[in-house]
A and B are shown apart, each in its own frame.
Chain A
Amino acid sequence: MSMLFIVVLIAFLLFFAVLHFLEPSASATESQFGAPQGLDDTAGCCNAEEFVSLGELILSDRDWEFMRREQNPALNELFVQERRAVVRHWLDQSAGRLRLIRARHVQRSRLAKDINLVAEARVFLLLFYLSLVFGVLLILVRFFHPYRSRALAQHFQAKADLLWLSALNTESGSTDSR
């Protein structure tokens, strides 16, 4: 019966492929990567480094501390709502940048004659990992207080690092040092 289950699973994947290929919009154009239109490293407010430090400002401890001291529930709720929306927007933008990096890499690596499969696998592993982190953070922010989301994300991050990403980091670190 387990064999039947495996076979049905494979068949399901194949039928999914059928649907994917029969979809009229399933032509592999560059926009298929899902990168936000017109977004590049310097698009929007700032460059990549400034953009990242925006997160620091959005989730600033001093803001939270100030709001706690105010002890105004209505204002606090408004602040949480506003901050949650900003965090989500920031995460959306970060995920967009990730898609853009992936799109650029894939567009060029598919033409590379000297492709290194191990390095390629490592890049995809990192891409998958970051996509997962963004996905989890987006879900957490939707359902929890942004400050609490950060704590949960920290927990998730620690576990992920412990499980399998530490090996990847060590590997990339040794490559860099060379």
Chain B
Amino acid sequence: MRILIVDDNPTNTMIIREILKKENYRNTVTVTSARDMFERLGVKDLDLIEESGPSDVDLILLDMMMPEMDGIQACRILQRSEHLKEIPVIVVTAVGDSHKLAEALDAGAVDYVTKPINKVELMARIRLALRLKLEKDWHRNRDQRIQEELKLASLVQNAVLSAPIRDSEFEIDALYKPSYELAGDLYSWYSLGEGKYAVILLDMMGHGISSSLFCMFISSVLKDTVFTYVEPKLVIEELNRRFIQLHIESKLIQYYFTAIYLVVDTRRKVIEYVNAGHPPALLYTDKKQPVRFDQVGPPVGLFDGIETYPQVLHYEGPGHLVLYTDGLIDGQENSIEARQAWLEEQLKTCSHHFDREAMSRLFFQDAAPLNREDDRCLVWISFK
């Protein structure tokens, strides 16, 4: 416990030291000016105080009235350092000017004591300042720990996402931007052999930690489900069955996910899909208008059974098929139709080849309105 006393008047310094000593605070350091204080805190150049590291001082008792630099100015400068501003400052002042006091507190001091110094009061203020500091540190440490945990968890989550496929007839890639370290969107694809591919994009209700856990659950049963059932209707039904098994006791919380699952047969040039409450995927071939995959049924996970509306369609290559989550069109002020139309228009002018940079510029760079940030995901399939 190290207390730094900053005062140009040796008598004051002595009084404070004596009080502290009697209370068993023996580790005190005294300096006689604000400049010396900064030096003691390890700041060599005040213009570079932002870069200074942590200090071994736990508390500063700072005299308000000092020549050259007064306590208020010193407080302000301390605030510029991420590390030094964590040291609680109690200003020591002659009775009177409440404006000056307010100024000192606004400048970053946590408390004040007035001269002549009352021992009981000084000790109470010191205890208070240290208690607040301790609590603040505790919260900061916990936040840091959680942040680190989340970063690790997001690495785990990223590891389950599929890697791009670049086959001669079929290419697939994705752009993904979670709104938080952990995400509620999930994409996955599998080469089924004989020119067939299964692709799924899903969007879990909500976003953040709980949604990401549900995503991981689905992810763990996905591959098995796809290879066992293949067919869109059966795969969605099986995912529904699995998801319903996760029962949340708490009332008025209903998890579900929207998904679009499709099987592409590049030899027969046929796409089969089921859309479970998901924004329509868009197929662009050399025809003028895109084909919308908008035969939509309810999302997955609501009831024991799920209605699906399986669709089969032929395509003539070359072309591109784009799947996306609503984070891509949501959050803007316009109506859903307008946003949808805008997205379709943007994708129309693209070549069939996936242009990562252009897509990133178009859909992933603008900031959503506050609190409306959702995960954004785009999956791009090119047909040769």
Do the two shown chains form a genuine complex with each other?
no
Report which B residues bind A (CB closer than 8 A).
none
